[in-house]
Structure 1
Amino acid sequence: MPSNTNPNIYTVSRLNAEVRLLLENEMGIVWLIGEVSNFSSPVSGHWYLTLKDSRAQVKCAMFKGNNRFVNFKPKNGQQVLVKARLSLYEPRGDYQIIIESMQPEGDGRLQQEFDQLKMKLASEGLFAQTLKKSLPEHPRCVGVITSKTGAALHDILQVLRRRDPSLPIIIYPTLVQGEDASIQIAQAIGCANSRAECDVLIVGRGGGSLEDLWCFNSEIVARTIAASQIPIISAVGHEIDVTIADFVADVRAPTPSAAAELVSRDNTNKKQAFQAYRHKIASAMRHYFAQQKFELKQLQHRLDRQHPANRLQRQQQQLDEYSMRLERAVQARINKTQQHLDRQRHQLQLLSPEKILRNQQYLLSSKEREMNEAMKRYLVSSRHTFTRLMDKMNAVSPLATLSRGYSITQNAQGDVIHNTSEVQQGDLIVTRLKDGEIRSIVK
């Protein structure tokens, strides 16, 4: 038999520990969409749930240090998008994921796609400041790529007419929302570059939700902006709205009106140049901070994998499981005891003298009713029998004979006299008739 000290022979604990480390170190962060089921939130504040789709499911844990940042409480049946890391719950050998963030599936999916495309393009260098083209100091013609019926075009034209009425403007109308908007925007940028009519382009629209602005987060628009030979100002939404187009464009303007001010000539040219440089610096800083934030997240993730808090979280999860198992066991014990008490109470009720007395009283009443019914039936039967016997007796009764005109003669002792030899002169005889008797002396 091989020795237990052989390093090639695993114990179950060692196997589970190494599998957990393998999952946590090799897989890294994953994004997952699924339906919430079996959600529970024990007193510890941690969340435990199962994410499933039509063919599979996976167990999940989200510790209170992370779930306190979730602005909604998950419900069974809800579709969510989670950012998580893979792990293994060693005591049971259960593969699970540890959720770090959670969002409703709709907005979360768009945000995930935004982040993924942003990281992809950043890694390719499309946001690099070395690729940014300077805006012309005195534009000769301005191109505007936006909706011909939108408020953004009205704002841009109003600013340009006020600040520099002589500046030529060419409008390249396009959709700025919907499925076909990305293609049309890219085509408009390509058209402006092929016609070479303008020396600066403003690409944008008014504000809206993340979904409304989504065409400016598409890869085709981003790559078309990066490939443009004409400097492009991104003017999408309001100042708080940020799109992929903002990162790729040469200059980002907080609003369409601000973009018009950047390209128009007036007495504030120096201010405009300063604003342009300020926006470029701000864009560079945003790019730098985005890169630093990405690297910080990577380092944080590596640190998290080795952080003692992970072990504490696993122990807290185990404690929660023991707590829930103890609660279920106590409840089961209480239920069992209650059932036993119910059975004992039922048996005691069956043996209660009061109940026995009620049963005996009911039985006595039942027997009394049965006896009364039997007596009635007996009396009826007896009357019937008596009547029948009376009829038979009357049929053979001497009285019946007397009623037909016959008589019976008896001596003084009441004996029936059958012939004359049974009497002598001077004897008293009684002759019984139908309606009475006659007493006579024999002569």
Structure 2
Amino acid sequence: MSLYPTASSQNKRIFTVSSLNAQVRLLLENEMGVVWLVGELSNFSAPVSGHWYFTLKDARAQVKCAMFRGNNQRVTFRPANGNQVLVKARLSLYEPRGDYQLIVESMQPEGDGRLQQQFEQLKMQLASEGLFAQSLKQPLPEEPKRVGIITSKTGAALHDILNVLKRRDPGLPIVIYPTIVQGDGAAISIAQAIGRANARQECDVLIVGRGGGSLEDLWAFNEEIVARTIAASQIPIISAVGHEVDVTIADFVADMRAPTPSAAAELVSRDLSAQLQKINQRQQHLRHAMRHYLSGRQSQLVRWQHRLDRQHPQVQLNQQSQRLDELRNRLERAIRKQVADRQQHLHRCEYQLALHTPAQRLEKLSAQLNAQQRRLLDAMDRRLVNARHQLAIATETLDAVSPLATLARGYSITRNDNGQVIRSAAQVKTGDTLKTTLADGDIRSTVTD
């Protein structure tokens, strides 16, 4: 049996690197979808493009992230290396390098982010179960006979509710079910108070709430046990938690939401303007229905947005923008290196130029020329002395053999008219004119015999 795969057993499809990376990116984005991730920021970078690039890490691993300008403009704090954050992101792949990365859509500090994430998850869960459905809402009694208040017996909320009820309807009976509204065990205490009120059946409407605070302070009213207890209550419940801007899970489950504890007291108290109260109640129902409707549409919009993001050209543009940032960084590094190299080369040239500067060379050549001139003058002097000495010797030698010197010793030279020297008497004849040269002059004579 062959140990090697045959041609028929091998995958017939052959990928290029780019097509493989594109296929892997689509698999990551389509299969994984949106993820929530907690980690520490590091290598944070914000180039001129406005995009953010960073790494999320924990004690054992890390992952590269990109947050494009359209998303990071909604971040309410300035990220810095070392921050613990919660991010909402989708998995992707940076195709040019084949790097697995996260495309971050939102970012929050870890503490608030975790609570907000739990809030959204429980909200979606309960909404999918129908606990927010308008059909489950119980109408409030038009003229309550007794009102139950579930809150802290020492809190400002109870004081505000009692003041409003005393002012608007002093004769309205009130039952207080004290509970803790913050910290460990608060959610169980609130649920038990609602259970006691339902078991006694002594009130026909309940106000459940507390004063304002942070998301963490109000967290007991976002617990699942409180939400399910409110949904199961046979007595209509008004949620009156915090200020008007505070929204809790209890607000969505309750039969009515009041923006403040004082507003809840106004809803259950009788007033001369009863018709206005009915209108207000209907407005509250409408707002609640609209919030529920808008919440559902928002969830649907988010799903559509995610589908659009996966297919939108902006994804490719973001990839190209990230690639552009990377190339820009590489270009800047290359330019800086080239400038540094050129500067180093310039320094070397300046040093070499300083060593071979024309001034120094001229000075050196001038010194050499002066030395050569001195040597030439010395040589000329020696040559002249030698020439004079040779001339003196030659003069003496010439004087020694000079005819004049011979003439001076008493000798004479005789020539004919042709200038020939007469060395023999046979050279002359009668009538020739001769010229005899003596030391002190010439004598002309004529031959007679």
Structure 2-normalised TM-score? 0.74
Deviation at 1:230, TM superposition (A): 1.0
Deviation per CA, 1:140-187: give whole Å up to 9, x if none: 211100111111111111111222222211101111122221111111
Secondary structure, in 3 states, of the residue corresponding to 1:108? helix
How far apart, CA to CA, are the structure 2 residues paired with 1:175 and 1:313?
A: 50
Give the superposition deviation at 1:215. 1.2
- Structure 1 residue aligned with 2:113: 108
Deviations 1:96-152 (CA, angstroms, capped at 9, x unpaired): 011111122222222222111111111111100111111122222111001111111
Query: 1:91 aligns to what?
Result: 96
Shift of 1:271: 2.0
Instruction: Report whether the alignment pairs 1:131 with 2:136.
Output: yes
The correspondence for 1:58, drawn from 59, 63, 71, is: 63
When the two chains are superposed, the root-mean-square deviation of aligned CA atoms in Å is: 2.1
Give 1:71 deviation, angstroms. Answer: 2.8
Partner of 1:235: 240
1:308 aligns with one of 310, 313, 320? 313
Partner in structure 1 of residue 54 of structure 2: 49
2:87 alignment partner AA = V
Q: How far does the alpha carbon of each residue in 1:397-433 deviate from its partner, in whole angstroms, 9 at most, with x for none? A: xxxxxxxxxxxxxxxxxxxxxxxxxxxxxxxxxxxxx
C-alpha distance in structure 2 between counterparts of 1:340 and 1:35, whole Å: 44
Work out the CA distance in 1 between the residues paired with 2:331 and 2:173: 79
The match for 2:145 among 120, 140, 144 is 140
Alignment partner, residue 290 of structure 1: 295
Question: 2:45 is matched with which residue?
Answer: 40
CA 1:330–1:228: 2 relative to 1, 3 Å: same
Deviations, residues 235-290 of structure 1 (Å, cap 9, x unaligned): 11111211111000000111111111111123222222221121111101110000
Structure 2: distance between partners of 1:350 and 1:101: 63
Quote how far apart the aligned CAs of 1:69 are. Answer: 1.9
Q: What does residue range 287-436 of structure 1 map to in structure 2 within 5 Å?
A: 287-342=292-347
Shift of 1:18: 0.6
The match for 2:33 is: 28
Q: In structure 2, how many angstroms separate the alpha carbons of the residues matched to 1:236 and 1:80?
A: 28
1:8 matched residue in structure 2: 13
Query: Aligned partners of 1:188 and 1:251: how far apart in 2?
Result: 18
- Give the Cα separation in 2 of the matches to 1:294 and 1:342: 65
Aligned to 2:267: 262
Q: CA deviation at 1:349?
A: 7.0
Q: Measure the CA separation in 1 of the matches of 2:349 and 2:117.
A: 62
Aligned residue identity for 2:187 = S
Structure 1 residue matching 2:56: 3-state secondary structure: strand
Moved more, 254-263 or 68-77: 68-77
- Report the Cα distance in structure 2 between the residues aligned to 1:177 and 1:292, rounded to whole angstroms: 32
Greater mean deviation of Cα atoms: 319-328 or 64-73:
64-73
Displacement, 1:62? 1.0
Identity %: 71
Matched to 1:264, the amino acid is: S
Query: Alpha-carbon deviation of 1:56?
Result: 0.6
What are the superposed Cα offsets for residues 323-367 of structure 1, whole Å, 9 maximum, x if unpaired? Answer: 11111222223333444445566677788999xxxxxxxxxxxxx
CA distance in 2 between partners of 1:183 and 1:166 (Å) = 32
Distance (Å, rounded) in 2 between the aligned partners of 1:210 and 1:346: 69
* In 1, Cα distance between equivalents of 2:217 and 2:58: 28
Counterpart AA for 2:330: R
Q: Where does the alignment leave 5 or more consecutive residues of structure 2 unmatched?
A: 1-5, 361-449
Q: Take 1:54 and 1:339, find their aligned partners in 2: how far apart are those partners? A: 43
The structure-2 alpha-carbon separation of the partners of 1:345 and 1:78, relative to structure 1 and needing over 3 Å to count, comes to farther
Q: What is the aligned residue count?
A: 353
Question: Counterparts of 2:16 and 2:175 in 1: how far apart (Å)?
Answer: 75
User: How far did 1:303 drift?
Assistant: 0.8
Aligned to 2:276: 271
Larger CA Rg, structure 1 vs 2: 2
The residue correspondences of 1:219-230 to structure 2 (distance < 5 A) are 219-230=224-235
- How does 1:147-226 map onto structure 2 within 5 Å? 147-226=152-231
Distance of 2:316 and 2:89 partners within structure 1: 16
Give the secondary-structure state (helix, strand or coil) at the position aligned to 2:76.
coil
Q: For residue 137 of structure 1, give the secondary structure of its aligned residue in structure 2.
A: coil
Q: Secondary structure at the match of 1:323?
A: helix
Q: CA deviation at 1:307?
A: 0.3
Note the C-alpha offset of 1:7. 5.0
Task: Report the equivalent of 1:77.
Answer: 82
Normalising to structure 1: TM-score of the pair? Answer: 0.75
2-structure distance, mates of 1:231, 1:350 = 100
Structure 2 residue 229 is the aligned partner of structure 1 residue 247: no
Q: 2:395 matched to which residue of 1?
A: none
Aligned-partner residue type, residue 153 of structure 1: L
Q: Does 1:19 align with 2:27?
A: no
* Whole-angstrom distance in 2 between the partners of 1:26 and 1:338: 53
Matched to 1:148, the amino acid is: K
